Amino acid sequence: MTTTTSPAPAFASLFDLSGKVALVTGARTGLGKALAEALASAGADVVGLGSRPMPETADAVAAQGRSFHEVVCDLEKPQDFHALVADVVARAGGIDILVNNAGIIRREDVLDYTEEDWDAVMTVNLKSLFQLSQAVGRHMVASGRPGRIVNVASLLSFQGGIRVPAYTAAKHGVAGLTKLMANELAPKGITVNAIAPGYMETDNTAALRADPERTRQLMDRIPAGRWGAPQDLATAVLFFAAPASGYVTGTVLPVDGGWMAR
């Protein structure tokens, strides 16, 4: 008796983003730059949004053989996101993937935290995320695109932390909005998920990494025993952006070296 086996699945094709356009916010440095580069490595053209020009990101995307369009805008200031999306669509031909990575952090004791810092953090980290997702979602629905929205949450989407009240509130909001948008947009062919990075080597953690005692405390808690690198998020964003991940939505995935398990 002879048996036949099916050919091995073309796993690479499961994550093939050829012909897709990804809009990545906060793409100038750190996590955003790494996310943009990962998406380009899978075949996506990239539109990078940042508060300043981002030549290093443009070079990284070009090195992957993909096109890069730059959008410079300050998310702390009021924006016409529908006009912004229309401009991106005109330049790049559409938006298939939105990665909401842009974020800022302001540290101060809760009793001394200012309204100015609260408003700045909430505007960039939560309000702009919602408004841009809404504008991009409308474009995806109108163009019949099976879209992917990937938000960048945080370990402080699950925990309280200290001295970052606005950041904690915003990142809890990101987790909640991820689930709400997933519920409403799934019937329209759009998935919405979030990555919750652990303690990463970025500008936002510079103060922590400069404090030897705080660094020791953090490393003692992280089973992997190291700070995360921006490139550690590559597999997560490719998974959520993949054409084959259409049945995965409403998920908040920690990429934290085991922090949440301890």
By annotation, the residues acting in catalysis are 167
Structure tokens of 41? 């490595």
> In 3-state terms, what secondary structure has residue 189?
coil
For residue 17, give every residue at least 6 positions away whose Cβ sits within 8 Å of its Cβ, in sequence order, or none.
39, 42, 43, 44, 96, 97, 238, 241, 242, 243
- Name the residue type at position 165: P
Q: How far is CA 208 from CA 92, 113, 135, in A?
A: 38, 19, 35
Report the length, in residues, of the chain.
Answer: 262
Neighbours of 23 (CB within 10 A): 28
Alpha-carbon torsion (254, 246, 134, 74), positive or negative: positive
- Please spell the DSSP secondary structure of 63-88, one letter per residue: HTT--EEEEE--TTS---HHHHHHHH
Determine the straight-line distance between the first and last CA of the chain, rounded to whole angstroms: 52
For residue 29, give every residue at least 6 positions away whose Cβ sits within 8 Å of its Cβ, in sequence order, or none.
54, 56, 57, 202, 203
Which of 49, 56, 55, 45 lies closest to 22 in space, CA to CA?
45
